[in-house]
Amino acid sequence: MKNEKIILDEKSLWGLVENLNWSQDHDYKRIEGELKGLGLDVANQIHEFVSEKRGEICSQYQEDWLGEPGIGVSDDGWSDLTNDIVGRGRKVFENINTKQLQEIADSGDYYENFGYSFQFLYD
């Protein structure tokens, strides 16, 4: 019997992202372990999904980030911030706006870096 690739839909992918509980402890090593436990195929799909959603935030808010008054984070900070927003889950992602991004950046209420959870996929 040949292994068939399971293609996860957006609802399932958001559910998996939310089950990683990034908002609770920001431990990318713990999350990496959980992703490994899901298998490479699923982990790759989650990674692609997170990258896509992060790209949507970057595209939608890049002018706000770089404009005046701007969102006060560096390039690395922008990566951390946008990954953090995706890691918080669908509700946060879908409701984020420029003012909230500025407030989160100004207060330092984001963590480095949900995206690190996927580094093992590059090894």
Q: How far apart are CA 114 and CA 29, in angstroms?
A: 10
Integer CA distances (angstroms), 112 to 4, 11, 35, 100, 105, in order: 35, 25, 18, 18, 12
Q: In 3D, which of 70, 75, 82, 69 has the Cα closest to residue 110?
A: 82
Task: Give 10-residue mean pLDDT values along the chain (123 residues).
Answer: 78 98 95 97 98 98 93 96 98 97 97 96 90
81 vs 74: CA distance, rounded Å: 10
Residues 6+ apart with CB under 8 A from 60: none
**Whole-structure pTM value:** 0.93
Q: Tell me, what's the pLDDT at 104?
A: 97
pLDDT the model gives residue 3: 61
